[in-house]
Amino acid sequence: MLVGRFLDGLAGSAFMSVAGGTVSDLFIPAHIQAPMMVYTIAPFIGPVLGPAIGGFINQFSSWRWSFYVLIIWAFVTLVSLIFVPETYHPVLLARKAANLRKSTGNEAYRSASEIDMRQKSIKQALIRSLYVPFQLLFLDMMVLVLCLYSAIILGILYLFFGAFPLVFRVNYDFELWQTGLTFMGLIVGSLFAVATNPLWHKNYVRLVTNWRKTLPKAEENKRPDPEFRLPPAILGGVLVPIGLFWFGWTTYRSVHWIVPIIGTVFFGGG
């Protein structure tokens, strides 16, 4: 079981590292906020839907069906990947250059990535691939702050998985399927947060517009700093502890079960 979970986590980690880059490939920076918000809630909605669906499976069927459903879903995902087109620009340019070489017979057509790979050995390319992520993590403050923020939030989210059964099964005598449904508060909060994107985008445009007014004429096309997208995270940093305290201080048998779930909505929104 431990080996299987390790392999599952190793393979699943690719989603967290690759999907964000795919979103960046598909959308220009000015329009990336909405799709990035939709992508960001996926790591929260997935683990929340798992207990909700698993509660019904284990309450009314065999526990083995938890694994059967995962296998079926993994197979569907694997098949769907066949139809997902490549989005990474260097790969697309390399394919275009290869088509030009084939159609014209001119071997001079080479993309920048192909030339770069020719000048490097596999060892050098591997070292660079391992080195650059840590370079970004420790030398770019924006990357470091967001990674720490995400790590803390995801860590707390998974701690919730142990708290929900204790609270709702012990204090409120919920059935297994009912306990799974209590996780839906996190999804509701996340969906509310995504629905506020038009407001945050408007605020981002305002901040960038005011910033450009301060630039000299020669720098009008300068790319805005990523810190202009921080206001939603700042509000989320306030909502998360509110949700945690709300949930922790209201989980008594004398308090209606909907009250601590409202706390999870605040946490999900954060």
Q: Residue 31 falls within a domain, yes or no?
A: yes
Give the Cα separation of 21 and 24 in Å (integer): 5
Of 126, 146, 143, 125, which Cα lies nearest the Cα of 135? 143
Tens of each residue's pLDDT in the chain, 270 residues: 889 888 888 887 777 777 778 888 888 877 777 788 788 787 777 778 888 888 888 888 888 898 899 889 889 988 888 888 888 888 888 888 888 888 888 777 777 776 666 667 777 778 877 888 888 888 888 888 888 888 888 888 888 778 888 888 888 888 888 888 888 888 888 888 888 888 888 888 888 888 888 887 767 777 888 788 888 888 888 888 898 889 888 887 788 888 888 888 888 887
- Residue 242 corresponds to which amino acid? I
User: CA 24, 196, 41: angle at the middle one, nearest 5?
Assistant: 50
> Which residues touch 63 (CB under 8 Å, ≥6 apart)?
57
Q: Convert the pLDDT of each residue in 57-85 to its tens digit.
A: 888 888 889 889 988 988 998 888 888 88
- Residue 197 corresponds to which amino acid? N
Domain count, the chain: 1
Q: Residue 171 falls within a domain, yes or no?
A: yes
Q: Residue 153 falls within a domain, yes or no?
A: yes
Question: How many Cβ atoms from other residues are within 10 Å of residue 52's Cβ?
Answer: 17
Q: Residue 61 falls within a domain, yes or no?
A: no
Q: Residue 115 falls within a domain, yes or no?
A: no
Q: Residue 237 falls within a domain, yes or no?
A: yes
- The residue segments making up the domain with residue 181 are 22-42+134-269
> Which residues touch 21 (CB under 8 Å, ≥6 apart)?
88
